[in-house]
Structures are given as structure tokens and as C-alpha cells.
């Protein structure tokens, strides 16, 4: 009976995701009907060429990026919360996102701060992504060195937070000395954005998602064993050290690449795993990883739809919308739920 209800929840979630996907593409400064979107996507029969360009070159890639980022951040957050047994752990606690931010800051701010390039220089999207990936990979390498030296998971968590704090301090110094235009560019990047990506970038982000999910698929059973702590997991034949490495690699790829492509996106990785636990009422990670992916994709699609301000040419920063949605969720969870029963 429980399995049947789980399947029905997944089917309902997929249906809602499909509807949310169509609404997301339909909304914007120019409204497009569902029938026109479906007809155009299935048969390439568009009423106007301008509508085709809007859907295929802007709204469809943005909607797909929202789904990809929602899945990646939610899966990363669930891994962190389970491994560290901390309900408020998220995909960014190891400092990898801050490392990606440092890479972008060095690109945008350092040249302006030290007079090496013109203030407000325009950078190509691939240059920003490359800088973010390099910065995230550098912090991932440093975290891996620490993970190789220490055996305690909480020590690794603290060190990751300190890495993030140190990197943020460097970014603050660069921001202080940078010119106004360069600082504005970096601030806008820090607000997060799901739009403006080419199809090549969407495919690259999708490839990074697939790569980051491989360690998760290989260790789903181990995460169930970690719910009662490392000692219990060892008694079940689970190797926490191996799981730690898989978690670091997976989270590094997922959180680092999403931050590099989209900028930092807050609260999705923290709030979504808890929502999945509440809706599906289970602690089985075979269900939770899929459920978190579904809820994360839907939540980020919803936030992106809200950010588009239907009827207006402007759109709100995605980070602001996810914070407005995610913060109340986390606060209500902390107040109402007894996390000591699960962590």
C-alpha cells in the first residue's frame, strides 16, 4: 500500500512538473498560449517566427536550466544533510560554491581593482563559467586534502565552513578595491540567473548533472545506513570514508557547476530535502533522492515563473525569489519539526 501511494505521488509530481514547465514557458513579457507552445514543440508549427525564437532561444533553455539546477542542488543538499546528520546542511557548506564565486570575482574584480583591465569590461559567458569552475575545483581540491587527513565528519564540515568564510573574505577585499562597474557586474552575477544561456551551455550543464549523479546512484544504500551514524554504518559493512569521497565528488561537481553557470542559488538545497521527507513520509533514500529531484525541479521552476513578472520586461533575481520562498520554509521546519528524531 505504501509503495502504491509513493508511485501515485511521483506520478502526480510529474504531472505538476509538466504543467509548471508549460506555465514557465508561457509566462513573460509576452504571453504565449499552451496550445501554441505544445503545437510548436511537437510539430515545429509556429504562428509567428518571433514566438519561435522567444521559446526556443530563451524560455525553453531557461526552463530546462531551472530543472537541472533544481535537481542538482536538491540532491547535493540531501547528501549533505544525511552524511553530516545536520538538518540545516546545504550544498554549499564545504565552501565549493564560495570557490566558484572567488573564480568569478578574480575575473571580474581583480583586474579592475589592480588596474589590469578597463572598469566594467564585458566578459563572455564561457569565460565566467570557466572562472567559476576553476575556482570551485580549487576549493574542492583543498577540501579533498583535508578529507584525506581527517577522519571525523564534523571536522570536515567545520573546515569546509572555514574555507567558505576565508574565500568570502577575499571576495570582500576585491569588492572593496574594485571599480563601480566591475562591482555591479559581480553583484548581478551573485544574485543568480537561469536565463541567457546558449544551448551549448545547457548541454554542458546537463552533462555535469549526469556526471555528478553517478556517485549518488552508486551509494544510495550507504546513505540509508548513515542515518544512525557512522558506527552503525560500519557495523552494516558500509565504508564511511568511501562514502565521504563519493559525497565530496558528487557535491563538488553539482554545486560547483551550477554556481559557475547560474550563480549562487540559496535555500533550494536546504529546504527541498525536508519538503520531500514531509510529502513522501519516508527516510528511504531510494525514494528521497528521486523525490528531492522532483520537488527541487518544480520549486525552482515556480520561483523562476514568479521572478518573470508577467507583463513586464524586467525580471527579479532568482536568488531573491528562492530566499523569499525558502526562508519561511526552513523557519517553519525548525519551529514545528523535531529534527532529533531523524538526525
The angle that helices 240-262 and 199-217 make with each other, rounded to 10 degrees, is 170
pLDDT at 113 over 60: no
Q: Which one has a higher pLDDT value, 35 or 312?
A: 35
Please report the pLDDT score of residue 217 as a whole number: 92
d(CA 293, CA 251): 14
Residue 328: what pLDDT?
81
Grid cell locating 336? 514545528
At residue 340 the predicted structure's pLDDT band, cuts being 50, 70 and 90, is low
pLDDT at 200 over 60: yes
Residue 141 or 74, more confident: 74
pLDDT digits (tens, 9 = 90+) for 266-299: 889 988 998 898 889 888 899 999 999 999 999 9
Q: What percent of the chain has pLDDT over 90?
A: 29
**Whole-number pLDDT of residue 121:** 56
More confident site: 175 or 110: 175
Give tens-digit pLDDT for 233-261. Answer: 788 888 888 888 898 899 989 999 999 99
Fold of 2-341: ABC transporter involved in vitamin B12 uptake, BtuC (1.10.3470)
Angle at 154 between CA 234 and CA 213, to 5 degrees: 70
- pLDDT, residue 153, reads 77
- Report the pLDDT value the prediction gives residue 112, as an integer from 0 to 100: 61
Identify the weakest region by mean pLDDT among 12-16, 98-102, 123-127, 307-311: 307-311
Q: What CA–CA distance (Å, rounded) separates 240 from 231?
A: 9
pLDDT at residue 117 greater than cutoff 70? no
pLDDT band per the 50, 70, 90 thresholds, residue 75:
very high
The pLDDT assigned to 294 comes to: 96
- Mean pLDDT (the chain) is 85
Q: Helix 153-177 and helix 125-149: axis angle, to 10°?
A: 140
Average pLDDT over residues 196-200: 90
Predicted pLDDT of residue 272: 92
Query: CA 115, CA 192: separation in Å to the nearest integer?
Result: 27
What was the pLDDT predicted at 310? 62
Spell out the domain ranges in the chain: 2-341
Please tell me the predicted confidence (pLDDT) of residue 295: 95
pLDDT at residue 336 is higher than 60 = yes
At residue 313, the pLDDT reads 67
User: In which band, very low, low, confident or very high, does the pLDDT at 116 lie, cut at 50, 70 and 90?
Assistant: low
Q: Average of pLDDT values for 182-201?
A: 88
Answer yes or no: are the C-beta atoms of 249 and 215 closer than 8 Å: yes
User: How is 308-319 classified by DSSP, letter by letter?
Assistant: T-TT-S----HH
Listed residue (55, 54, 47, 157) closest to 96, CA to CA:
157
Q: Mind listing the pLDDT tens digit for each residue in 316-335?
A: 889 889 988 878 877 776 67
Q: Is the pLDDT of residue 90 over 90?
A: no
pTM: 0.91
Residue 16: pLDDT band (50, 70, 90) is very high
Amino acid at each position: 500500500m505504501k509503495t502504491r501511494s509513493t508511485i501515485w505521488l511521483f506520478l502526480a509530481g510529474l504531472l505538476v512538473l509538466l504543467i509548471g514547465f508549460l506555465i514557465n514557458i508561457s509566462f513573460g513579457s509576452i504571453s504565449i498560449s499552451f496550445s501554441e507552445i505544445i503545437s510548436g514543440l511537437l510539430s515545429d508549427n509556429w504562428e509567428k517566427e518571433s514566438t519561435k525564437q522567444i521559446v526556443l532561444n530563451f524560455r525553453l533553455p531557461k526552463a530546462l536550466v531551472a530543472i537541472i539546477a533544481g535537481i542538482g542542488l536538491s540532491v547535493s543538499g540531501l547528501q549533505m544533510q544525511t552524511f553530516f546528520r545536520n538538518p540545516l546542511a546545504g550544498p554549499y557548506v564545504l565552501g565549493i560554491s564560495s570557490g566558484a564565486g572567488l573564480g568569478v570575482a578574480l575575473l571580474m574584480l581583480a583586474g579592475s581593482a589592480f588596474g589590469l583591465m578597463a572598469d566594467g569590461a564585458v566578459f563572455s559567458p564561457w569565460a565566467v563559467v570557466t572562472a567559476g569552475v576553476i575556482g570551485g575545483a580549487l576549493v574542492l581540491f583543498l577540501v579533498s586534502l583535508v578529507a584525506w587527513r581527517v577522519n571525523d565528519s564534523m571536522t570536515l564540515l567545520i573546515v569546509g565552513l572555514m574555507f567558505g568564510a576565508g574565500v568570502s573574505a577575499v571576495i570582500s577585499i576585491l569588492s572593496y578595491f574594485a571599480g563601480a562597474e566591475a562591482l555591479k557586474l559581480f553583484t548581478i552575477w551573485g544574485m543568480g540567473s537561469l536565463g541567457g544561456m546558449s544551448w551549448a551551455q545547457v548541454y554542458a550543464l546537463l552533462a555535469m548533472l549526469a556526471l555528478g549523479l553517478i556517485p549518488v546512484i552508486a551509494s544510495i544504500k550507504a546513505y540509508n545506513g548513515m542515518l544512525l551514524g557512522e558506527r552503525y554504518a560500519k557495523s552494516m559493512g558500509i565504508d564511511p570514508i568511501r562514502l565521504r569521497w563519493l559525497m565530496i565528488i558528487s557535491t563538488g561537481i553539482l554545486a560547483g557547476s551550477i554556481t559557475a553557470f547560474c550563480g549562487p542559488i540559496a535555500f533550494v538545497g536546504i529546504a527541498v530535502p525536508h519538503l520531500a521527507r514531509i510529502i513522501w513520509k519516508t527516510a528511504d533514500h531510494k525514494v528521497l533522492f528521486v523525490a528531492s529531484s522532483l520537488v527541487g525541479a518544480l520549486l525552482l521552476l515556480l520561483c523562476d515563473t514568479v521572478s518573470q513578472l508577467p507583463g513586464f520586461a524586467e525580471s527579479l533575481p532568482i536568488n531573491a525569489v528562492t530566499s523569499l520562498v525558502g526562508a519561511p520554509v526552513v523557519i517553519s521546519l525548525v519551529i514545528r519539526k523535531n529534527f532529533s528524531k531523524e538526525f
